[in-house]
A = this chain, B = another copy of it.
Amino acid sequence: MHDGKRRLKWQGEDVLAFLRTDFPQAFRDGWDYTVEHLTTRQAIVRLHAHDSQLRPGGTIAGPTMMHLADFAFYVLLLALHGASARLSVTTNLSISFLRKPVAGDLVARVEMLKHGRTLSVGAVHMEDAEGRVVAHAEATYHMGAAEW
């Protein structure tokens, strides 16, 4: 496995610092994240609860979960490749919503399923503040620039 020898280019704080500048909408309205765990194969990213994510009834909106699934995988790619991963784009994202999350933080754990030359595929497992699985997603990123 060519991933075996791979080292992380960036740690979690480097990735978030880059994203605050490069992808400021992810932090709009006071949204914030912690990278809780990071290896060459896995990232665990927490989205801190914020009123702007809530739906009436005290649950979290689906698009917030879609955003977090995509964001967590992007964190892992940035950690592996550094700034050059900013050229990668999501080509496909499929998400199943399993239960309504309770109001509170969301934690996404993304695992790299394939880290290829042109395509990377990751699976995302998402839990709510009570530790229940609320969504499961699979995302494909096209590595590299321009047209795909």
Contacts and interface: CB of A to CB of B under 8 A. Distances in A.
Nearest to A95: B93
B95 A92 contact: yes
Interface stretch (A7-15, A62-70, A77-85, A102-110): A62-70
Contacts of A54: 25
A42 to B, nearest CB: 14
Contact of A118 (B53, B61, B96, B118): B118
B113 A142 contact: no
A25 to B, nearest CB: 6
Given A25-B54, A55-B23, A56-B22, A148 B117 contact: yes
Contacts of A56: 22-23
A16 interface: no
A2 B91 CA distance: 20
Indicate the size class of the contact surface on chain A.
35 or more
A37 interface: no
B121 A123 contact: no
Interface of A: 22-23, 25, 28-29, 52-56, 61-63, 66-67, 70, 89-100, 113-114, 116-119, 121, 123, 133, 136, 138, 140, 142, 147-148
Given A117-B148, A119-B142, 20 more contacts: A23-B56, A28-B29, A62-B70, A63-B67, A66-B66, A91-B140, A92-B92, A92-B95, A92-B96, A92-B97, A93-B94, A96-B113, A96-B121, A96-B140, A99-B114, A114-B133, A118-B118, A118-B142, A121-B136, A140-B140
